[in-house]
Amino acid sequence: MTITIRFLQAGDSLEALTALLHQAYASLAAQGWNFTAVDQSVAVTRERVALGQAFVAEHEGRLVGTVTVSPPKPAESRYLRDPVPDCYTQPGTAILAQLAVHPELRGQRLGERLMDAAETWATENGYARVALDTALPAEHLQRRYARRGYQRVGEVQWQGKTYASVLMVKALDTKVTA
């Protein structure tokens, strides 16, 4: 099976990307966790991918995975209507969001490939760290990120969410070899 990971392009359907997010996050919604991607509108998808660099995974012309990596937020700003946690405002910190893999393609390391692409992009663009958040009760996701080198740095309660979130940060290897 050939799956290509590439930058999101202007001609890509944000409707299809939003539908992919809904499908990928449905199992989390079934557990009572209302992640933003569970039911976000196309307008919210557009806003989130415009904040940084979005990657998509494509198989036979269909979007089957995605991740977005963006620069740090300005201090005293808002992120999805909430005050921004300190780890998201630190210079040199990229923020990873909207990691999604279509349910039919889980278990094939596609999520890892998408995270590799985002982390590589962040390194190549001079970021020293990548930060993310995930649901506190989603221990399987926390373990997944910890295996990749992410460390827990705090918690946040996003407005309107049914769960607290864990904030995690990973230092990137910024050594450049000649």
Give pLDDT tens digits for 155-165: 999 999 999 99
The pLDDT value recorded for residue 75 is 85
- Structural tokens at position 40: 């976000």
Q: How far is 95 from 23, CA to CA, in rounded Å?
A: 22
Burial of 139 (0-12, 13-18, 19+ CB in 10 A): exposed
User: What average pLDDT is seen over the chain?
Assistant: 94
Query: Residue 1: which pLDDT band, with cuts at 50, 70 and 90?
Result: confident
pTM equals 0.93
The pLDDT value recorded for residue 78 is 78
Domains of the chain: 4-171 (3.40.630.30)
Answer with the residue of higher pLDDT: 82 or 118. 118
